[in-house]
Structure 1
């Protein structure tokens, strides 16, 4: 049985939980008319979100000092929709992290301040499902608040969603996204070209780079490819040499060993991309 301990506002309640002791419950209208000691059950009990971590609880309570109730309610509805979309429970930190981030982003938009995101394209390519979910979330806020959330901000929302889905720290995801962007810039600089971001080979390269960075960071190494490595070294020496430069960058940034097999996949992706770009010139 979950019982009300304290009503913070119409949408947020402190409650006693039989398993987690004190929890913060979040749901539209959940606190309306509630009194301490009342039981929360039935249909409403299926629609609230519980913050079980004491640290998350305190951080969330601090949000209530400056975030309006309507914003909290809308955020709760959207997080519920995200869990339904992905058929997965999200890390509870999204209630704190995304609420805080988006609230201040909206304030900047309302003041006419520009939001820049240098890693937007890499983010969209790396996490396409999360990006589409972020687009829908932005549309809901645009309609409710009569604003227009720009694409750059949608990219940041995407990272928050991916973080909550994968239980990965947002700062780690940001570092990986930045690294992928720098690797692409290195390829462009090396060949003196500007890659067409709509090229299918660019899409494949970025997705591969994201997967490679995550594999290395998680020490989930690829199988040995020594035979193919020697063939590629002879066939595509320029792309092969660049792949080793990129691997060195990854190794320095991630502080993890990058296996030789990564040179095979990188060489092939670079060769396809560069060949496609040179044909289109």
Structure 2
């Protein structure tokens, strides 16, 4: 392995039989320069540089390589737990996220994730892998990572396993769903945080996710018109709530929910409302 560029004393860019790799190891770049050879027994981790090489170069020049190494350990474990292969973008994105999170926590800045409940419900497998990651980071860096951090990491896992180069789409979807849930909670005058893991609440959140996905894909649930009219008539309050949700998504997010979807949303709201009514009796 021949050195192309030294990032710092613990990380270098090398050429290995014509393939660019970023390798890390304690002291691997110490007193080294371009064209020096790297002994393989000094290498702790290696990453095959692809189209994100420039991002990785910039990242390793700005963060402690230990953060990158920790990120790679987490990626390996998460891919094993989720039985998937993440896209290449996660290597730089997650390392950067971890570096920022560690600096934040060391400065005593704890950010509450307002989408925590929704992320737990929508991406349960990714969240479990993220919980493992948070426990790993707690032990490795002796820092108090909160469960909120697991929600952020879970979004990275979901985005990387679904082919997204950023978390923007996933975060937007969860944000819209959270706003829909908040609207329903306000209309029903209920604090969902006290029942966030309830079955009917979970069903509602998951259904809203599918509604949002179908709207984006222009693939809608069809409901027989007679059934739809019956739902509107029988569950008037719940239908009014569903209509308010639809108005909110249109105004705030430019997302138009068609009438046939409102029927199904109404049924979920009614089931949840019925559960709340029984709980108060």
Give the shorter-chain TM-score range.
0.7 to 0.9
* Structure 1 CA distance for aligned equivalents of residues 88 and 120 of structure 2: 23
Counterpart-to-counterpart distance in 1, 2:252 and 2:14:
43
Q: Which of 35, 51, 69 is the aligned partner of 1:73? A: 69
Secondary structure of the residue aligned to 1:149 is coil
Q: Is the 8 A contact 1:27 1:76 kept in 2?
A: no
Q: Secondary structure at the match of 1:15?
A: strand
Aligned residue among 31, 48, 67 for 1:50: 48
CA distance change for structure 1 residues 241 and 106 in 2, over 3 Å: closer, same or farther?
same
Question: Where do 5+ consecutive residues of structure 2 fail to align?
Answer: none
**Residue of structure 1 in register with 2:258 after alignment:** 259
Contact 1:4 1:14 in 2 (8 A): yes
1:13 aligned partner: 13
Superposed displacement of residue 231, structure 1: 1.7
Shift of 1:103: 0.8
Residues 190-210 of structure 1 show CA distances to partners (whole Å, capped at 9, x for unaligned) of 122223213211111111111
Deviation at 1:7, TM superposition (A): 5.3
Cα deviation code 1:6-31 (max 9, x no counterpart): 4546455343787xxx74445668x6
Decide whether the 8 Å contact of 2:90 with 2:160 is kept in 1. yes
Q: 1:155 aligns with which of 117, 130, 151?
A: 151
1:262 and 1:62, CA in 2 relative to 1: closer, same or farther beyond 3 A? Answer: same
Q: Which residue is 1:137 aligned to? A: 133
1:38-88 Cα offsets, whole Å, 9 max, x none, are 7999xx9xx8443422xx322221111231122221211211222222232
Structure 1 residues 4 and 80, CA gap change in structure 2 (3 angstroms): farther
What pairs with 1:1-281 in structure 2 (closer than 5 Å)?
Answer: 5-6=4-5, 8=7, 10-15=10-15, 23-25=20-22, 36=35, 48-53=46-51, 56-168=52-164, 169-195=166-192, 196-281=195-280
Deviation at 1:144, TM superposition (A): 0.8
Cα distance in 1 for partners of 2:251, 2:37 equals 56
Separation in 1, partners of 2:37, 2:173: 47
Shift in Å, 1:32: 7.5
User: CA contact under 8 A between 1:51 and 1:92: conserved in structure 2?
Assistant: no
Q: Hey, what's the Cα distance between the residues in 1 that align with 2:133 and 2:249?
A: 33
TM-score where L is the length of structure 1:
0.84
1:269–1:51 Cα change, 3 Å:
farther
Given that 1:4 and 1:37 are in contact with CA atoms closer than 8 Å, whether structure 2 keeps it comes out as yes
From the superposition, tell whether residues 3 and 261 of structure 1 become closer, same or farther in structure 2 (CA, over 3 Å): farther
Per-residue deviation, residues 196-246 of structure 1 (Å, max 9, x unmatched): 213211111111111211221222322344232112112111112222222
**TM-score (normalised: structure 2):** 0.84
Q: Is this contact kept in 2: 1:239–1:270, CA < 8 A? A: yes
